[in-house]
Amino acid sequence: MNPIKTLKTVGFLEGWSFLILLLIAMPLKYFFDQPMAVSIVGALHGLLFVLYILAILYVWNVKKWPFMRAFLAMLSSVIPFGPFIFDSKFLKE
């Protein structure tokens, strides 16, 4: 299993789940009184977030990344569009 490809895949899924949570589920909860959307998407996003952090740690260990690159990868996970930007800047193959 290619660690970079795994990180890219999990990052893509985590990035989209974060955007769906922020742009679809949260407005449904607060503007249309539909809290179930946040419950479902929030749980999925939480799982993908943990998998993304684990994938970063895996790549850091296997590829011997510098600490700052791993830190930036983790920081990107809490910024909307962050995983996509990190991917385009640091995960070119």
Name the 3-class secondary structure at 34. Answer: coil
pTM, rounded to two decimals: 0.92
pLDDT at 46: 97
3-state secondary structure of 79: coil
Q: What would the pLDDT profile of 37-93 be if each residue is shown by its tens digit? A: 999 999 999 999 999 999 999 999 999 999 999 999 999 999 999 999 999 998 875
Look up residue 74 and give its two tokens: 């983790």
Contacts of 93 (CB under 8 A, 6+ apart): 4
Query: Does residue 26 sit in helix, strand or coil?
Result: helix
- For residue 33, count CB atoms less than 10 angstroms from its CB and return exposed for 0-12, middle for 13-18, buried for 19 or more: exposed
Distance in angstroms (rounded) separating the CA atoms of residues 85 and 79:
10
